[in-house]
A = this chain, B = another copy of it.
Amino acid sequence: MTTTPLPECGVARFLALLGGPWATLIVRELLHGPHRFTELRDALPGISPHTLTSRLRQFEATGIVTRTAYAEIPPRVEYRLTPLGEGLRDVLEAMASWGLSVPGPAPTAP
């Protein structure tokens, strides 16, 4: 994490915290409930473990995600959205609604 102050504009603040190709998709998965690292990795084909680790750490640092380690054997670690992270549901719902309104070749079209 840098210590750069967040931008004043709310949109720019969102982009500063959720920028990059994977951040929003990680949140999309966590909106379904807590996930283990391997579950997130498997749900996001193409993401590198390095990127996933880095984004989760950033999310922890900004208070979007909590990481809970359970003292079990084998150890279990879960990531879940905080209330701040849950607040992203409205943003992702708006994105999804707009995304589905875009005319374009359906993925299954020839």
* Inter-chain contacts of A100 with B (CB < 8 A): 10, 13
22 CB-based A-B contacts, threshold 8 Å: A5-B106, A5-B109, A8-B107, A10-B95, A10-B96, A11-B25, A11-B96, A13-B99, A13-B102, A14-B98, A15-B25, A15-B95, A17-B102, A19-B21, A84-B103, A87-B101, A88-B98, A90-B97, A90-B98, A91-B91, A91-B95, A94-B94
- Taking a contact as CB atoms closer than 8 A, the residue among B14, B90, B99, B105 that contacts A9 in the complex is B99
Output the residue of A62, A90, A94 with the most chain B CB within 10 A: A94
Query: Which chain A residues have a beta carbon within 8 Å of chain B's beta carbons?
Result: 5-15, 17, 19, 21, 24-25, 28, 62-63, 84, 87-88, 90-107, 109
Query: In the complex, are the beta carbons of B84 and A102 less than 8 A apart?
Result: yes
* Inter-chain contacts of A96 with B (CB < 8 A): 9-11, 14
How many copies of the polypeptide does the oligomer hold? Answer: 2
* Inter-chain contacts of A97 with B (CB < 8 A): 10, 90
Query: In the complex, are the beta carbons of A5 and B107 less than 8 A apart?
Result: yes
